Amino acid sequence: MKQERFDKIISTQFNISRRDARIAIRRGKATLNGKILRDFGALVDVDADITFNGQALNYKQYIYILMNKPKGVLSASSDKKKQTVVDLVPENLKRNGLFPVGRLDKDTTGFLIITDDGDFAHKAISPKYEVYKSYLVTLDGKLTDEMVKAFADGIVLADGTLCRKAVLTILGENTARVKICEGKYHQIKRMFGVVGLGVNELKREAVGGLSLPPKLKEGCCVELSLEEIQAIFTNS
């Protein structure tokens, strides 16, 4: 059975600082198996009966939150001047150490995972694991079959960077779906710039085999199950 320091459990699971957790524990605000425990450094089974301020603990090693990111919000954990995606996470899902998995540009909307699991984030982002991200794109000009081929062959960006092969599917005269398995800075905008088009709207629809729920409104979040997390690594 996994054990962790008592103050770390209280801090991470109840979204307070380690210092505040220690103070509260010393003041008798936390219990272990029905008895007050004031030793904040004690090693405790994470599945034990723990309460804090009368609230029972439902231990989760990590949390995975899916947000429908709205425009104008930074894909960052914190910023002194601007609102971030972590700022939008509701209190019942907040905990220490949350960060967005990858980045969506400020004006890009859609599928964004926020978590505190670094290993998961690495696997979801790294091109090595070939987790494809799907985007709906609205452009300022007409799409052509030549563009589809160029994306499939691998676009060379203006600075000479070679992009991996991408899937471009034409949906309308100026709308398309793009699937890529990497995330270079402003990549999709730069790819379309090479073929002479500008991006007017960009929305991420899916990552791997998990799609954005159609009823999830912009700015809203939902906690993902382990089955949904696993679906990310099965490309659709």
Q: What string of DSSP letters covers 122-165?
A: HHHH-GGG---EEEEEEESS---HHHHHHHHH-PBPTTSPBPPP
**What radius of gyration, in Å, describes the C-alpha atoms of the chain?**
22
Would you say 68 and 113 are in contact if contact means Cβ atoms under 8 Å apart? no
Q: What string of DSSP letters covers 194-229?
A: HTT--EEEEEEEEETTEE--TT--TT-EEEPPHHHH
Would you say 40 and 25 are in contact if contact means Cβ atoms under 8 Å apart? yes
Candidates 45, 43, 85, 47; CA nearest to 65 is: 85
Query: Active-site residue 79, yes or no?
Result: no
Which amino acid is present at 104?
A: L
State the catalytic residue, choosing from 7, 105, 116, 159.
105
Active site residues: 105
